[in-house]
Structure 1
Amino acid sequence: MKKLSPLMLAGTGSDVGKSVIAAAFCRIFLQDGYQPAPFKAQNMALNSYATPEGLEIGRAQAVQAEAAKVDCHTDMNPLLLKPSSDQICQVILNGKPVGNQSAYQYFRKEGRQELRDAVNAAFDRLQNRFNPIVMEGAGSISEINLRDVDLVNLPMAAHAKASVILVADIDRGGVFASVYGSIMLLNEEERKLIKGVLINKFRGDIRLFESGVTMLEELCGVPVVGVVPYYKDIHIEEEDSVMLETKNLQASHGKVNVAVILLRHLSNFTDFNALERDPRVHLYYTNNTDEVEKADIILIPGSKNTLSDLYELRRNGVAQSIIRAHKSGATVMGICGGYQIMGEEVCDPDHVEGDIERLPGLGLLPITTKMQGEKITRQVKFNFLNSPVMCEGYEIHMGTTLPVHGQSLSTMNKLQDGREDGYYKDRTCFGTYIHGILDNGAFIEFLLEPFADKITDEPFDFKAFKEEQYNKLADHVRSHVNMDLIYQIMKD
Structure 2
Amino acid sequence: MFVGTGSDVGKSVIAAGFCRVFLQDGYHPAPFKAQNMSLNSYATSEGLEIGRAQAVQAEAAGIPCHTDMNPILLKPQSDHTSQVVLNGKPVGNQSAGSYFRNEGRDELRKEVHAAFDRLASVYNPVVMEGAGSVSEINLRKIDLVNMPMAIYAKADVILVADIDRGGVFASVYGSIMLMTEEERKHVKGIIINKFRGDIELFRDGVKIIEELCHVPVLGVIPYYNDIHIEEEDSVSLERKSYNSQRSMINVAVVLLRHMSNFTDFDALEQDPRVHLYYASTPDDLNDADIVILPGSKSTIDDLYHLRRHGMAEAIIRARRRGATILGICGGYQMMGQSVEDPEGFEGDITNMPGLGLLPVHTTITAEKITRQVTFLFDGKTCQGYEIHQGISDTDEVILIEDRCIGTYVHGILDNTSFVDYLLRPYKEKVKSTPAFDYHTFKEQQYDKLADHIRRYVDIPAVYRILEVKNE
TM-score (norm 2): 0.98
Unaligned runs of 5+ in 2: none
- Give the corresponding residue for 1:23: 16
The letter for the 1-side match of 2:43 is A
- Give the corresponding residue for 1:277: 270
Secondary structure at the counterpart of residue 275 of structure 2 = strand
- Give the corresponding residue for 1:307: 300
1:299-330 CA deviation, whole Å, 9 max, x = no partner?
A: 10000000110000000000000001101111
Measured after TM superposition, the shift of residue 287 of structure 1 is: 1.9
Q: Distance in 2 between matches of 1:468 and 1:377?
A: 29
- Give the corresponding residue for 2:386: 395
Measured after TM superposition, the shift of residue 216 of structure 1 is: 1.0
Q: Distance in 2 between matches of 1:190 and 1:320?
A: 55
Measured after TM superposition, the shift of residue 452 of structure 1 is: 1.7
| 1:453 equivalent in alignment to 2:428 | yes
- Give the corresponding residue for 1:13: 6
| 1:59 equivalent in alignment to 2:52 | yes
Q: Distance in 1 between matches of 2:92 and 2:105?
A: 15
Secondary structure at the counterpart of residue 226 of structure 1 = strand
Measured after TM superposition, the shift of residue 187 of structure 1 is: 1.0
- Give the corresponding residue for 2:98: 105
| 1:193 equivalent in alignment to 2:186 | yes
1:272-309 CA deviation, whole Å, 9 max, x = no partner?
A: 11110111111111122112132111110000000110
- Give the corresponding residue for 2:324: 331
| 1:430 equivalent in alignment to 2:423 | no
The letter for the 2-side match of 1:469 is Q
The letter for the 2-side match of 1:120 is H
Measured after TM superposition, the shift of residue 424 of structure 1 is: 2.0
Q: Distance in 2 between matches of 1:240 and 1:64?
A: 14
Measured after TM superposition, the shift of residue 168 of structure 1 is: 0.6
Structure 2 CA distance for partners of 1:161 and 1:245, relative to 1, 3 Å: closer
Measured after TM superposition, the shift of residue 246 of structure 1 is: 4.0
Measured after TM superposition, the shift of residue 393 of structure 1 is: 0.2
TM-score (norm 1): 0.94
CA contact (8 A) 1:245 1:285 kept: no
CA contact (8 A) 1:293 1:322 kept: no
- Give the corresponding residue for 1:211: 204
1:118-174 CA deviation, whole Å, 9 max, x = no partner?
A: 000000000001010000000111111000000000000011010000111111111
Measured after TM superposition, the shift of residue 461 of structure 1 is: 1.0
CA contact (8 A) 1:180 1:216 kept: yes
Structure 2 CA distance for partners of 1:271 and 1:304, relative to 1, 3 Å: same
| 1:476 equivalent in alignment to 2:452 | yes
CA contact (8 A) 1:258 1:283 kept: yes
Q: Distance in 2 between matches of 1:106 and 1:243?
A: 27
Q: How many residues align?
A: 467
| 1:171 equivalent in alignment to 2:193 | no
The letter for the 1-side match of 2:221 is V
Q: Distance in 2 between matches of 1:443 and 1:122?
A: 37
| 1:127 equivalent in alignment to 2:102 | no
The letter for the 2-side match of 1:477 is I
Query: What value does the CA root-mean-square deviation take over the aligned residues?
Result: 0.9
- Any residues of structure 2 matched to 1:235-246 within 5 Å, and which? 235-246=228-239
The letter for the 1-side match of 2:462 is I
Segments ≥4 residues shifted beyond 4 Å: none
Of stretches 456-465 and 94-103 in structure 1, the one that deviates more from structure 2 is 456-465
Q: Distance in 1 between matches of 2:316 and 2:43?
A: 32
- Give the corresponding residue for 2:84: 91
- Give the corresponding residue for 1:374: 367
Measured after TM superposition, the shift of residue 99 of structure 1 is: 0.4
Q: Distance in 1 between matches of 2:240 and 2:152?
A: 41
Q: Distance in 2 between matches of 1:62 and 1:394?
A: 12
CA contact (8 A) 1:245 1:262 kept: no
Measured after TM superposition, the shift of residue 236 of structure 1 is: 0.5
The letter for the 2-side match of 1:36 is P
Q: Distance in 1 between matches of 2:86 and 2:134?
A: 23
Unaligned runs of 5+ in 1: 1-7, 403-408, 412-419
CA contact (8 A) 1:225 1:485 kept: yes
Q: Distance in 2 between matches of 1:421 and 1:391?
A: 11
Q: Distance in 2 between matches of 1:117 and 1:242?
A: 32
- Any residues of structure 2 matched to 1:155-170 within 5 Å, and which? 155-170=148-163
Q: Distance in 2 between matches of 1:224 and 1:242?
A: 27
Q: Distance in 2 between matches of 1:250 and 1:191?
A: 47
- Give the corresponding residue for 2:419: 444
- Give the corresponding residue for 2:136: 143
1:361-394 CA deviation, whole Å, 9 max, x = no partner?
A: 101111110000010000110013xx22110000
| 1:485 equivalent in alignment to 2:464 | no
Q: Distance in 1 between matches of 2:106 and 2:72?
A: 13
Q: Distance in 1 between matches of 2:318 and 2:203?
A: 56
Q: Distance in 1 between matches of 2:239 and 2:55?
A: 25
